[in-house]
Structure 1
Amino acid sequence: MLASAMTTLALMQPAMAVEAQTFVDRIAAVYKLGGYDIAFGPATLDGDTVTVDGATVTVAGMEGEPWKIDTELTFTGVADADDGGFTAEAMTVPDIDTEFSQDPVGRLTLTDISATDIYLPPEDKINTTALLEAVGSLTTGPLKITRNGADFLAIDAIEAVNEFTYDAEDALENIASTFSVSGIWADLTAMAAEDPQAGPVIEALGLQQIKGDINQSMTWGMKDGHLVVDQFLFDFADVGAIDFKADISGFTPAVLDKISALESASADATSEEAQAQQMMVGMELLQALTLTGSSIRYDDAGLAPKLLDMFAAQSGTDRAQFVEGLKAMAPQLIGQAGVKELTDLVVPAVNAFLDDPQSIEIAVKPASPTTLLVLSAAAANPAGLISAVGLAVNANQPAAE
């Protein structure tokens, strides 16, 4: 009985190793669609835990700069999915504490790295949708970077969370995503002391220390490709906030596949046939995507007046005179585009912001959702394009709800 048990155990070991290797190979295959070429180290299976001895990650377009992960990656709760794929409850990485430069000496520490709710499809169903639903959440604890032993950059936490909903056939229907980088802090005093050009600018703008957060939220429907970016906000105390919003339809996984194909074709677009194919795919994309609206807004929290004061001092004048000079130049600079409607739209907003820097917003909102192909055709008449996209430029106005 003992001999039989030992023989059975010996026969099981290669099967376990193959299963673990199949699991990591599936991860590599899924992320290859996103432009990541991942070469994992040896993988072993113990119960429902797969342990991987490091990895090397190469990003498309940066083949000469691979990222080496010299630590164990641990996948827990690994199981076979009902459809023939794999699931894993979590992936964890040991805390990182490493030097990344010598002059100045740079050290990085990062703790509590984790990914949860991992799904890998069967080999014959690896596609863009599978890449989108591969991970439910990715989080880290505090990150800290030091320069020559002094604190330089710190982040309290990073968190990306995806919530998936499925239709009656168990196909991915919607994704609701949030992303945040909270408690960003940086001390630029050492950099200011070392750089004779950057130092005076950092001091004049009061940027010796900066604090802020980054937050994004969006929803994405797979069937109609309705992508709504509710917020993509960079908000820094005593500096300002930039927020981007968008409402686009037609951005389906199939369109993502076409974009990927277009990027691949761009690298080989030497023949007339390849260039014609590339143009055809580009036209299909413009026809597929529909713009409902988009905006980018800057709310000042102290940076703009300091910039105006600094440039006025460099010009040997005071801020009021410098602002009047900018306001006199604005119509000429914007008028170089040769579109009177654009000058009439932009100059009043620029002047209002220069007089009282509170906020400035650029928004587009067609009267009805319009394909990018129609808008690109309208670009032949710039004045008509301004009307077609519903371009608006406003200063010192409350943000739209």
Structure 2
Amino acid sequence: MTICRHVLHKLTVSTFLLAIPFHAAYAQDANAVAERFKKVLADQGMNFTWTGVSGDTSSLALEGVTFAPAGQAEPVALGRVTFDGITEQDGGYRIETITTEPYSTTEEGMTFDISAATFTGLTLPPEGETDPVAAMAMYEGMEIASISAKLADKTLFSLDSLSFDITPPAEGAALEFTGSAEKFTADLSIAEDPQAKKVIEALGYQTISGNFEMAGSWQPSDGRMGLTQYDITVDDAGTLGFTFDLGGYTPAFLKSLQEMQKKMAEQPAGADNSAQGLAMLGLMQQLTFHAANIRFDDDSLTGKVLDYVAEQQNMKPEDIANQAKAIVPFLTAQLNNPELSAEITAAVGKFLDDPQSIEIVAAPPAPVPFALIAAGAMSTPLDLPKTLGVKVMANDGE
């Protein structure tokens, strides 16, 4: 602003007066893009505000930006956010890149840092868009170079090269997405419990590292949502993964969920949210369960645990494994499901003899409404494994 004032003082009065309407036009265009962005995010349950805007419809910057998802009372201060490569598209806008400033906050001695985030290929639909899917703001890519949490000068957690890629739905095709983090590290040596600290040190996991990958799809037309991969790998330990397949997650369901979250967020502190909670539970009954899977692929963790327990008991690792195999039938007998109990016993035995992988699969012969699952969990929980078609396998076999 100081530089602008020095320049304007040297201009003639006529030039200054001519410059005003052009500057105002640019600001108005920039505001139009910013306001459209704000409105679309609000429709998706996110509150986005700023204190100043500059630029035009090709490139603009928002100052003093705050952001808060529905249900979050305290907004996050993002600072400056820039929009580049803005073009009009079918009455709306396409923004090639949106970039935030690095973010940092400290609370109770813990410092949380996020490097600049970059979103690419974001589309803002036109005002009055009636198609619920087309009315959403969707980006095609997102990248964050690093995330970290520190206590004093000690890094407790770090994540490098976090990215997501999205293929928006078009011509009846499903939306597809992938995500990954190239590397994460966590310092487990800060564990305060003496027994936990002892186990961590014995297993050699004072500091762990690894990566994660995910992939999935969403079909707006019928609400089918599938997470086909969500794998967290810890180096020299193993990979824990899970997947799920749900139905009923339609745009109408998503909109109702967002509106309900808004209402809950608007409630004053300490207010009774029991009615909203029941309404949320009722809304979840629209979903159907198709399948789910939890799997662990071993990479030396099982052997290390057996070695540690054996050392504590002054026994051999194979003796500990045999003890565990002998106990499993008694534990699973409580399920009152002999077939599943036998499956678990066989799978655990096979895995302990040759630790490769162990997997729990829920795949009912037909989709199960969440209402039935909730009712079963309250009335006859022991019947749920049969209802959901639960099976347990080891080493990629029965």
TM range (shorter): 0.7 to 0.9
* Counterpart in the other structure of 1:9: 19
What amino acid is aligned across from residue 67 of structure 1 in structure 2? V
- The reply on whether 1:67 has 2:76 as its aligned counterpart is yes
SS in 1 for 2:294: strand
- 1:153-302 alignment runs, 5 A limit: 153-167=157-171, 173-188=173-188, 191=190, 196=194, 198-260=196-258, 281-283=283-285, 285-286=286-287, 289=288, 291=290, 293-302=291-300
* Counterpart in the other structure of 1:392: 391
Provide the C-alpha distance between the structure 2 equivalents of 1:282 and 1:144, rounded to a whole number of angstroms: 34
SS in 2 for 1:182: strand
Cα displacement (A) at 1:256: 1.9
Cα displacement (A) at 1:79: 3.0
What amino acid is aligned across from residue 336 of structure 1 in structure 2? Q
Cα displacement (A) at 1:329: 3.3
- 1:147-201 deviation line (CA, Å, top 9, x unaligned): 554665444311111112422xxxx742111111112234555x36x87555323
115, 119, 137: which one aligns with 2:119: 115
Unaligned runs of 5+ in 2: 1-11
SS in 2 for 1:298: strand
Provide the C-alpha distance between the structure 2 equivalents of 1:107 and 1:60, rounded to a whole number of angstroms: 22
- 1:296-323 deviation line (CA, Å, top 9, x unaligned): 1111112222233334445565544443
- 1:299-378 alignment runs, 5 A limit: 299-314=297-312, 317-373=315-371
Provide the C-alpha distance between the structure 2 equivalents of 1:357 and 1:208, rounded to a whole number of angstroms: 23
Aligned partners of 2:30 and 2:56 also within 8 Å: no
For the structure 1 residues 364 and 349, does the alpha-carbon distance in structure 2 shift closer, same or farther, using more than 3 Å as the test? Answer: same
What amino acid is aligned across from residue 110 of structure 1 in structure 2? S
- The reply on whether 1:92 has 2:96 as its aligned counterpart is no
- 1:323-364 deviation line (CA, Å, top 9, x unaligned): 344334333333334444442332322333334332110112
- 1:116-153 deviation line (CA, Å, top 9, x unaligned): 11122234338863575421111122455565546654
Provide the C-alpha distance between the structure 2 equivalents of 1:265 and 1:11, rounded to a whole number of angstroms: 42
Provide the C-alpha distance between the structure 2 equivalents of 1:310 and 1:47, rounded to a whole number of angstroms: 63
Provide the C-alpha distance between the structure 1 equivalents of 2:100 and 2:149, rounded to a whole number of angstroms: 18
- 1:81-130 deviation line (CA, Å, top 9, x unaligned): 322x222111123456x5736857x574625x311111222343388635
SS in 2 for 1:88: strand
SS in 2 for 1:124: coil
% identical aligned pairs: 27
For the structure 1 residues 275 and 102, does the alpha-carbon distance in structure 2 shift closer, same or farther, using more than 3 Å as the test? Answer: closer
* Counterpart in the other structure of 1:134: 138
Provide the C-alpha distance between the structure 2 equivalents of 1:147 and 1:378, rounded to a whole number of angstroms: 45
49, 53, 62: which one aligns with 1:52: 62
For the structure 1 residues 349 and 145, does the alpha-carbon distance in structure 2 shift closer, same or farther, using more than 3 Å as the test? Answer: same
For the structure 1 residues 231 and 280, does the alpha-carbon distance in structure 2 shift closer, same or farther, using more than 3 Å as the test? Answer: closer
Cα displacement (A) at 1:28: 3.0
Cα displacement (A) at 1:270: 5.1
What amino acid is aligned across from residue 163 of structure 1 in structure 2? T
For the structure 1 residues 35 and 356, does the alpha-carbon distance in structure 2 shift closer, same or farther, using more than 3 Å as the test? Answer: farther
Unaligned runs of 5+ in 1: none
SS in 2 for 1:352: helix
Provide the C-alpha distance between the structure 2 equivalents of 1:81 and 1:151, rounded to a whole number of angstroms: 45
What amino acid is aligned across from residue 213 of structure 2 in structure 1? N
Aligned length: 380
Which deviates further from its counterpart, 335-344 or 247-256?
Answer: 335-344
What TM-score does the superposition give when structure 1 sets the normalisation length?
0.78
